[in-house]
Structure 1
Amino acid sequence: MSLLRRKTIHAQPPEQQLARTLSWPHLVALGVGAIVGTGILTLIGVGADRAGPAVILAFVVAGAICACAALCYAEMATMIPASGSAYTYSYATLGEVIAWVVGWSLILEYSLVVSTVAVGWSGYAVGFLKGLGVTVPAALANGPGLGGVVNLPAVAIIALVAGLLMLGTRESARVNTVLVLIKIVTLALFVGVALPHFDAANLHPFTPYGFGSPTGAGGVKYGVMGAAAIIFFAFYGFDAISTAAEEAKNPERDLAIGIVGSMLACTAIYMIVATAAVGALSYMRFGSSPEPLALILRELGQPKVATVIAAAAAVALPTVLLAFLYGQSRIFLVMARDGFLPQALAKVSKRGVPARITAMTAVFVAVIAGLAPLDVIASLANAGTLCAFVAVAACVLVSRRRDPDARRPFRTPFAFVVAPLAILGCLYLFTSLQVRTQVAFLGWNALGLLVYFLYARSRAEIARA
């Protein structure tokens, strides 16, 4: 039964208390900054390639599943206003071993997202510098998997963002808000230019590959659900808001507004951008492009606007790094408090930020970004997120049954409908991922359980003593 022992949430000692400096606008900006990133800039092309014009419907499906999960997150975050996100909720509601699996999956999600985005930003930066006459040697612009030695720009941007986070949460939140506004203005510019070229003929046939997820060459999943499983990457990030529970000024109000508000805003943004994209140009002409929005604008005779959007995307991309590096450092912080990591890492600086754990997290993801090949393994981030979403929805159901009279500042509407829909939707999206991704995810968690039984479980025992 010790495997299912539950954690009691209590106040932290002064040396581990985080500074409460964030209000709900900061949290909405944090969520939008995490969600609106490489996903809408690149995955709309991948989604269109796999679903045709029905990529619009794929955004609806992925958004609906994420909305159900977001409502569950809002309830658990306001009910348990502590850092750690799905890991903390699982530990307090479902038990230790399940919490460990969720935390281990979150490590996978956040590490791969931060590393992948850093490598993507490196490509933009190297190209931008080349345009200015500054050439970065290939050995320092690529990891060993691509014939180089280390991806130095990727390591540098992670160090810069980590330094900003260590400077202070309020300061980094202000910078994040400015960069988020740049991204929103950039997407609005795209819509403003593309929407007047809308042609209904580009929407036919609307579902060339059907609604399900038929398998094509190389194990690629097509159809609306196959596209939704990939587009799902473009939606998650709101879970990073729940890691800010101990730094919100009024967590019972601010967390719910931040989580639900950012999801609603991003769903609306995605729907408008997707409609403008597939309506302005046939999906067959931009579906395989790594920069679909810029390609659409060039095809419409707007190369200067395309350049502006590409430049703005590169400038604003670090908001994704900031949100996920922030979230991962807070999850590591809570795991250190619980004894799964050295507890000395849980100490906060005079500014009220976990400087030690942020530095450790930055080193961890910088090694991955600088050295590891991320082309195939990056899709594992989706699997880790799906695991966390299922766990949080299950926490809502278990908590409602076990303690129906507990105080819930935010209550998930129709919880016994919304939470099961989140679980079933996430499980269906998991089956729509490629088989090798599913196998790799199960292998990662088998390794995690081995670490738990050989190392982490005994450390948790010592921390409890």
Structure 2
Amino acid sequence: MRNLVRRKAMTAAKDQPEHHRLARTLSWPHLVALGVGAIVGTGILTLIGVGADRAGPAVLLSFVVAGLICACAALCYAEMASMIPASGSAYTYSYAVLGEIFAWIVGWSLILEYSLVVATVAVGWSGYAVGFLKGLGIALPEFLTHGPTADGRFGINLPAILIIGVVAWLLMLGTRESARVNSALVVLKLITLALFVAVALPHFDPANLQPFAPFGYGSTPGEGGVKFGVMGAAAIIFFAFYGFDAISTAAEEAKEPERDLAIGIVGSMVACTLIYMIVAAAAVGALPFGRFSDSAEPLALILREIGQGGIATIVAAAAAIALPTVLLAFLYGQSRIFLVMARDGFLPRGLAKVSPRGTPARITAATAAVVAVLAALTPLDMIASLANAGTLCAFVGVAACVLVSRRRDPDARRPFRVPGAWIVAPLAILGCIYLFTSLQAVTQWSFLVWNLLGLAVYFLYARRRSGLTRS
């Protein structure tokens, strides 16, 4: 038992071997842009349709619920990131505070989160890209625009594979270069959403909000195990808000991590919550939710339905250009988490080697190959839901780290402190657990199976290769 809960002392980035050391090139504006780029993406551009299908116009409340829970989790991340300015996000914090077995479970869940988020966003981007090409009169073969479907149709999502390859190449090119591209695309994305609101808001019709909550306010099982209602939709809409945790993976590349990480996490979360509420209100007010709920490009569809086909083409094009910022942020974050796990011996140590440009090129390429297969062959709602389960586990872990560290070492230096920690952190834990119970049963069982597999890997392989075991 002592080995299972042994904790890892955090090593300063400067103390890492040179071939494992990342270059410090990011300031707080880069981190805010990274957070906004990660948060504002598939959730509002694609999954708003899925959420409306499950909650109706009350999807607005689903955004509020998911946003509040994520805000509590974001504050916990900000405190831990300022205390432990090292790459690895929730995995690193759990290793330092809770112990090795908890770190492994959180890290294993983060593998699920980041891999499936990248795959989900790639599939969402593919929907917009295909729609944009159709608007130009270019039609790809139907079987190359989606993965295998529930009704037995075969397909392979070629656009999703291509965009993952492009983003991976950009990340391997260099962190500063990819950050600059990300910042420019974030600005384009925000302009696109502002354009949608400006055009859709004048068409706001209060009648489209009635009935407001046709499926209720809780979480009601429906056909195929899908959960309906405000909380059922919040469990899937939750995907729209996280992304700020990717900022915490940039700790070893931030110029002043103790200050910049907290600014990036809290700043991006506040900005994105406001953006989401405005866009969601404009969407459900402009068109009855049933007419866009099953679309792969709901915002563009809404614009076409209200007679703004030209603007719809612009929005689809901008989404196709700007959505890769989410891919970039999460593929970036995942490669850094895998880098730390490789340093700790949980993954092959050779993957921790960085390129002459100071980027973990090997592990970025390996990660891109895995998520490309997922994106090519998996339906959007299934992978988004399962990604949420992995994220909820990580958020619970970080909130628990705040409480345990406050109790164990109350006088430790905390450049950022969660206000009302003994209220905020438990709210984050309870909220995440409730959202997990609101996920469909197949997602819950899949997550359980994934973690049982992870525990088997830990006891049969990773535990013996752990850096703490070796030392």
- TM-score, normalised to structure 2's length? 0.94
Q: CA deviation at 1:362?
A: 1.7
2:19 alignment counterpart: 15
Between 362-371 and 294-303, the greater mean CA deviation after superposition: 362-371
Amino acid at match of 2:405: S
Q: CA deviation at 1:352?
A: 1.5
Contact 1:338 1:463 in 2 (8 A): no
What is the rounded CA distance, in whole Å, between the counterparts of 2:224 and 2:77 in structure 1? 35
Secondary structure at 2:46 match in 1: helix
Amino acid at match of 1:2: N
The counterpart of 2:340, out of the listed 334, 337, 343, is: 334
Amino acid at match of 2:106: V
What is the rounded CA distance, in whole Å, between the counterparts of 1:273 and 1:189 in structure 2? 10
What is the rounded CA distance, in whole Å, between the counterparts of 2:168 and 2:146 in structure 1? 21
What is the rounded CA distance, in whole Å, between the counterparts of 1:444 and 1:142 in structure 2? 25
Q: CA deviation at 1:132?
A: 5.5
Secondary structure at 1:205 match in 2: coil
1:409-420 matched pairs, under 5 angstroms? 409-420=415-426
Contact 1:141 1:148 in 2 (8 A): no
What is the rounded CA distance, in whole Å, between the counterparts of 2:405 and 2:353 in structure 1? 31
What is the rounded CA distance, in whole Å, between the counterparts of 2:139 and 2:290 in structure 1? 34
1:5 alignment counterpart: 6
Evaluate the alpha carbon distance shift between residue 144 and residue 217 of structure 1 in structure 2; reply closer, same or farther with a 3 A threshold: closer
Between 380-389 and 37-46, the greater mean CA deviation after superposition: 37-46
Give structure 1 stretches of 5+ with no counterpart.
none
2:236 alignment counterpart: 230
Residue 34 in 1 paired to residue 38 in 2?
yes
Residue 302 in 1 paired to residue 303 in 2?
no
Evaluate the alpha carbon distance shift between residue 41 and residue 440 of structure 1 in structure 2; reply closer, same or farther with a 3 A threshold: same
Q: CA deviation at 1:171?
A: 0.4
What is the rounded CA distance, in whole Å, between the counterparts of 2:314 and 2:400 in structure 1? 44
The counterpart of 1:264, out of the listed 245, 265, 270, is: 270
Between 111-120 and 302-311, the greater mean CA deviation after superposition: 111-120
What is the rounded CA distance, in whole Å, between the counterparts of 1:294 and 1:230 in structure 2? 21
1:448-459 matched pairs, under 5 angstroms? 448-459=454-465
Evaluate the alpha carbon distance shift between residue 374 and residue 224 of structure 1 in structure 2; reply closer, same or farther with a 3 A threshold: closer
1:343-354 matched pairs, under 5 angstroms? 343-354=349-360
Contact 2:135 2:313 in 1 (8 A): no
Contact 1:140 1:148 in 2 (8 A): no
The counterpart of 2:211, out of the listed 202, 205, 208, is: 205
CA offsets, 1:25-73, max 9 Å, x none? 1111111111111110122222222222221111111000000000000
What is the rounded CA distance, in whole Å, between the counterparts of 1:368 and 1:43 in structure 2? 18
Secondary structure at 1:376 match in 2: helix
Count residues in correspondence. Answer: 465
Evaluate the alpha carbon distance shift between residue 29 and residue 259 of structure 1 in structure 2; reply closer, same or farther with a 3 A threshold: same
2:196 alignment counterpart: 190
1:399 alignment counterpart: 405
Secondary structure at 1:3 match in 2: coil
What is the rounded CA distance, in whole Å, between the counterparts of 2:340 and 2:357 in structure 1? 18
What is the rounded CA distance, in whole Å, between the counterparts of 1:217 and 1:46 in structure 2? 15
CA offsets, 1:308-358, max 9 Å, x none? 111111111111110110010000000000001111221222221112221
Amino acid at match of 1:441: F
What is the rounded CA distance, in whole Å, between the counterparts of 1:426 and 1:73 in structure 2? 14
Residue 107 in 1 paired to residue 111 in 2?
yes
Q: CA deviation at 1:303?
A: 1.3
1:21-420 matched pairs, under 5 angstroms? 21-126=25-130, 128-129=132-133, 136=140, 151-371=157-377, 376-420=382-426
Contact 1:339 1:463 in 2 (8 A): no
Contact 1:221 1:433 in 2 (8 A): yes
Taking every aligned residue pair, what percent have the same amino acid on both sides? 78
Contact 1:66 1:235 in 2 (8 A): yes
Amino acid at match of 1:66: C
Between 131-140 and 212-221, the greater mean CA deviation after superposition: 131-140
CA offsets, 1:212-252, max 9 Å, x none? 11222222222211111111011111110100010011111
Between 38-47 and 282-291, the greater mean CA deviation after superposition: 282-291
Contact 1:213 1:226 in 2 (8 A): yes
Contact 2:129 2:316 in 1 (8 A): no
Evaluate the alpha carbon distance shift between residue 343 and residue 47 of structure 1 in structure 2; reply closer, same or farther with a 3 A threshold: same
What is the rounded CA distance, in whole Å, between the counterparts of 2:110 and 2:46 in structure 1? 23
Contact 2:36 2:272 in 1 (8 A): yes
Evaluate the alpha carbon distance shift between residue 3 and residue 107 of structure 1 in structure 2; reply closer, same or farther with a 3 A threshold: same
Secondary structure at 2:4 match in 1: helix
Amino acid at match of 2:4: L
Evaluate the alpha carbon distance shift between residue 14 and residue 244 of structure 1 in structure 2; reply closer, same or farther with a 3 A threshold: same
What is the rounded CA distance, in whole Å, between the counterparts of 2:294 and 2:336 in structure 1? 37
Contact 1:377 1:437 in 2 (8 A): no
CA offsets, 1:96-147, max 9 Å, x none? 0111011111101111111222233334445545665666556655556776
Q: CA deviation at 1:211?
A: 1.7
Secondary structure at 1:350 match in 2: coil
2:443 alignment counterpart: 437
Give structure 2 stretches of 5+ with no counterpart.
none
What is the rounded CA distance, in whole Å, between the counterparts of 2:328 and 2:261 in structure 1? 18
- TM-score, normalised to structure 1's length? 0.95
Amino acid at match of 1:250: E
What is the rounded CA distance, in whole Å, between the counterparts of 2:280 and 2:143 in structure 1? 37
